[in-house]
Amino acid sequence: MPKLRIGVWASGLLLLAGWASPCHAQLVREEPEKRKPEQQERKVEKLALEQILERLPQRVTSKPGTRGDMVNFLLIGSKEKIEASLRAAGWVEADRDNTQAAVHAILSTIEKKGYTEMPMSLLYLFGRPQDYGFAHALPLAVAAERHHFRLWKAPWQTADGETVWVGAGTHDIGIERAIDGTLTHQIDPEVDKEREYIAETLQDAEKVKQLRYLRPAEPVLEATTATGASYRSDGRILVITLK
């Protein structure tokens, strides 16, 4: 009966965590939709980067449509290359649902480790939630502080047939109360620093083939997240082509 005892203990731990930490409960309550966009391949339009920039939404939204984080970088490369490069750079994929979150929270508690894979809230681009969420954190500060970003596979490819992934990255630096009264992460308002941090980690792992900045015709310079936090940027989008 060990499995039963662990299950009962685990459930109690999670209920206690939910009662004691409303912030954690808020962050893991939303379960992503089942989706595997890579299995729904169809003929994709090939465009120059400048053409992609013209069609690219500049901000992501919440499910109700509230505009939030800015798109601040693009990754160019296959799904396999993206996953391998980010792993090599120390990024971990965030858990996608509460089942994964429960297992990882329990194991992290037992092993006294930080829970870097904590799920991210769902944000939307191209009419769907993120395809990936990746995080990079200090283990002891992961509940309140972590570098993280979301990725969406774009509906276009580069002119030479490379897959384009659209990213929105911010640095969580604490906990604050959102405009609706719930607890959420506080972000560093200087979001360009997170854009650069993502590139630096990939460069340190020797996974970057080329870096290039693009500036939209109407760049995002100041805006707010979907939960009401202000941020600012120089408006540029960093294109990271992977090796």
Q: Assess contact for 205 and 89: CB atoms under 8 A.
A: yes
How much is the pLDDT for 156? 97
Q: Assess contact for 35 and 128: CB atoms under 8 A.
A: yes
DSSP lists the bridge partners of residue 186 as 174
Dihedral sign from CA coordinates of 155, 34, 169, 67: positive
Residue ranges in 145-234 assigned as alpha helix (H): 192-204
How much is the pLDDT for 160? 96
Backbone region of residue 152 per phi and psi (left: phi > 0; alpha: psi in -120 to 50; beta: other values):
beta
How much is the pLDDT for 177? 65
Indicate the burial class of 108 (C-beta count within 10 angstroms; 0-12, 13-18, 19 or more).
middle
Residue by residue, pLDDT tens for the chain (243 residues) are: 443 333 333 333 333 333 333 333 333 344 445 555 444 556 889 999 999 999 999 999 999 999 999 999 999 999 999 999 999 999 999 866 544 433 344 334 434 344 445 678 899 999 999 999 999 866 545 556 789 999 999 999 999 999 999 999 999 887 766 666 666 668 999 999 999 999 999 999 999 999 999 999 999 999 999 989 999 999 999 999 999
How much is the pLDDT for 173? 87
How much is the pLDDT for 139? 54
How much is the pLDDT for 43? 83
Residue that has been written with the tokens 């760049």 in this structure: 219
Residue at 11: amino acid letter:
S
Task: Spell out the residues 6+ positions from residue 23 whose beta carbon is closer than 8 angstroms to its own.
Answer: 143, 175, 183, 184
Backbone region of residue 90 per phi and psi (left: phi > 0; alpha: psi in -120 to 50; beta: other values):
left
Residue count (the chain) = 243
DSSP annotation of 37: G
Distance CA 77, CA 188 (A): 28
Domain ranges for the chain:
43-95+116-242
pTM: 0.74
CB atoms within 10 A of CB 165: 21
Distance CA 25, CA 20 (A): 9
Distance CA 112, CA 140 (A): 10
How much is the pLDDT for 121? 86
Distance CA 10, CA 8 (A): 5
CB atoms within 10 A of CB 184: 21
Distance CA 67, CA 168 (A): 12
